[in-house]
C-alpha cells in the first residue's frame, strides 16, 4: 500500500499548495465494491455495468439510478434496493472501517472484501501518520466506472461555490500496463484536471478583485540599446537569485512599456545609453507609472526588497 499512500499524500500536498480552498478526497476500494455487489446478489458478469451506474450518483438521484439498474440492466428491485442501502455509507475513514469490520458485517463473509478492508486499514494508518487523513472521506458510492481499476480508487472534489465536479482522480490498476505489453506491472496513479483547477483559481481571483496575470514574470529588463550580452548579464543576475524576470531588446521604450502593461508585469528595469554612461538603472513601477534611478550595483538588492514587500 506504500505507493497508494504516496500518491494520495502528493495529491493532498498539491491541492493544499494551490490554495484553492476546501476540498475532500472521496475514497473506496474496487474489491470492496465488488464484494458489496456480490453481497447484494449482482451476477459477476454485471459488476462493471452496475459500477458504471453507481458512478453517476454524484450527478443523479438514487431513484434514477435504481430505475436504470432495474429497467435497463436487468437487476431485481430487491437487489437494487440492497445496493441503495450500501451506497449511502459515507463518512470519516476510521469510523466507517470500524463499522464494516464489526462482528456480523456481511463484508467479513466475502473474500475480496476482507482483502480490501485489510489494505484500507494499512492505508488509513499511513495517511493518519502523515496528517492528511482529515481530507479523506470513505465513500461506498464512489465507483470510478472504468474497468481497469483493481484496488484503491479516489476522487478529489472541490467544496467551494464554483461547481466544477471532480478536480482529480485515480487509483490502482495492476493489470492495465500488461494489456499493452508482455509484462504485468503493478501501478497506481492520479490525474489532475488543470482546466477545472484554473477555473476555480480564476474565480477566486475575481472574488478578491485581483487581476489575472498572463505570466509569472515580475520584472521586465528593458534594454534600449542593441546589446544582447548586456540583457543576458542583467537578467542572469536576477535569475541567479530566483527572481522571475524576462528581457527585451528594443530601442523603443514604448514597446517595453506596452509589453509590461499587456502582461501585467509589475516592475521594469530600464537601461539605455545614458544609464550605461552614468552607472545607473531606472526602476519603474508599471502600475503606479513611477520611475526611480538607482545605482547599477544595487539593482538586485533593491528588487528583492521591493518584491518581498509585495508578497508580505
| pLDDT 10s digits, 121-134 | 999 999 999 999 99
Picking from 116, 164, 174, 108, the residue whose alpha carbon sits closest to that of residue 140 is 116
* C-beta pairs of 280-286 under 8 Å, 24+ apart in sequence: 281/234, 284/260, 286/257, 286/260, 286/261
143 or 118: which carries more pLDDT confidence?
Answer: 118
- Residue 233 pLDDT > 90: yes
Q: How high is the pLDDT of residue 202?
A: 82
213: confidence class by pLDDT, cuts 50, 70, 90: low
Asked whether 302 and 283 are in contact (CB, 8 A), the reply is: yes
- Residue 305 pLDDT > 50: yes
Q: Quote the CA–CA distance of 114 and 106 in Å, as a whole number.
A: 10
312: confidence class by pLDDT, cuts 50, 70, 90: very low
What mean pLDDT comes out for the span 240-250? 94
Q: Quote the CA–CA distance of 200 and 12 in Å, as a whole number.
A: 16
- Residue 56 pLDDT > 70: yes
DSSP count for the chain of H helices, then E strands: 12, 11
The single residue listed with the C-alpha cell 500496463 is 177
Q: Quote the CA–CA distance of 20 and 26 in Å, as a whole number.
A: 17
H helices of 208-272, in order, are: 228-240, 253-262
The rounded mean pLDDT for the chain is 89
Picking from 178, 265, 185, 176, the residue whose alpha carbon sits closest to that of residue 221 is 265
Q: How high is the pLDDT of residue 211?
A: 56
Asked whether 277 and 227 are in contact (CB, 8 A), the reply is: no
Q: Quote the CA–CA distance of 28 and 141 in Å, as a whole number.
A: 8
What mean pLDDT comes out for the span 163-186? 82
234: confidence class by pLDDT, cuts 50, 70, 90: very high
pLDDT digit string (tens) for 59-115?
A: 889 999 999 999 999 999 999 999 999 999 999 999 999 999 998 899 998 998 999
User: What percent of the chain has a predicted confidence (pLDDT) above 70?
Assistant: 96
- Residue 55 pLDDT > 90: no
146 or 98: which carries more pLDDT confidence?
Answer: 98
Q: How high is the pLDDT of residue 207?
A: 74
Picking from 146, 25, 40, the residue whose alpha carbon sits closest to that of residue 90 is 25
C-alpha dihedral sign at 95, 101, 102, 106: positive
What mean pLDDT comes out for the span 26-44? 92
Q: How high is the pLDDT of residue 209?
A: 60
Asked whether 181 and 18 are in contact (CB, 8 A), the reply is: no
- Residue 311 pLDDT > 70: no
User: What percent of the chain has a predicted confidence (pLDDT) above 90?
Assistant: 65
- How would you class 34 by CB atoms within 10 Å of its CB: exposed for 0-12, middle for 13-18, buried for 19 or more? buried
pTM above 0.85, yes or no: no
What mean pLDDT comes out for the span 6-22? 92
Amino acid at each position: 500500500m506504500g505507493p497508494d499512500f504516496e500518491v494520495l499524500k502528493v495529491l493532498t500536498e498539491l491541492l493544499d499548495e494551490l490554495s484553492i480552498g476546501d476540498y475532500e478526497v472521496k475514497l473506496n476500494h474496487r474489491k470492496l465494491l465488488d464484494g458489496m455487489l456480490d453481497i447484494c446478489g449482482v451476477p459477476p458478469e454485471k459488476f462493471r455495468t452496475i459500477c458504471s451506474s453507481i458512478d453517476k450518483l454524484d450527478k443523479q438521484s438514487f431513484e434514477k439510478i435504481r430505475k436504470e439498474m432495474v429497467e435497463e440492466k436487468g437487476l431485481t428491485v430487491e437487489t437494487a434496493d440492497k445496493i441503495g442501502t450500501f451506497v449511502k455509507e459515507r463518512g470519516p475513514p476510521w469510523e466507517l472501517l470500524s463499522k464494516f469490520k464489526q462482528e456480523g458485517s456481511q463484508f467479513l463473509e466475502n473474500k475480496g472484501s476482507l482483502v480490501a478492508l485489510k489494505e484500507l486499514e494499512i492505508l488509513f494508518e499511513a495517511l493518519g501518520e502523515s496528517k492528511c487523513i482529515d481530507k479523506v472521506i470513505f465513500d461506498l458510492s464512489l465507483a470510478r466506472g472504468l474497468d481497469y481499476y483493481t484496488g484503491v480508487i479516489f476522487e478529489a472534489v472541490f467544496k467551494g461555490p464554483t461547481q466544477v465536479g471532480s478536480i482529480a482522480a485515480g487509483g490502482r490498476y495492476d493489470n492495465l500496463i500488461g494489456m499493452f505489453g508482455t509484462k504485468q506491472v503493478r501501478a497506481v496513479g492520479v490525474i489532475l484536471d488543470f482546466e477545472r483547477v484554473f477555473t476555480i483559481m480564476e474565480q477566486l481571483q475575481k472574488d478578491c478583485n485581483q487581476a489575472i496575470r498572463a505570466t509569472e514574470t515580475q520584472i521586465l529588463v528593458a534594454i534600449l540599446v542593441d546589446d544582447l550580452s548586456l540583457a543576458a548579464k542583467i537578467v542572469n543576475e536576477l535569475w541567479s537569485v530566483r527572481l522571475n524576470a524576462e528581457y527585451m531588446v528594443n530601442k523603443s521604450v514604448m514597446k517595453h512599456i506596452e509589453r509590461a502593461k499587456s502582461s501585467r508585469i509589475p516592475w521594469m528595469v530600464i537601461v539605455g545609453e545614458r544609464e550605461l554612461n552614468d552607472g545607473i538603472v531606472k526602476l519603474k513601477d508599471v502600475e503606479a507609472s513611477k520611475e526611480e534611478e538607482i545605482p547599477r550595483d544595487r539593482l538586485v538588492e533593491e528588487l528583492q526588497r521591493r518584491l518581498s514587500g509585495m508578497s508580505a
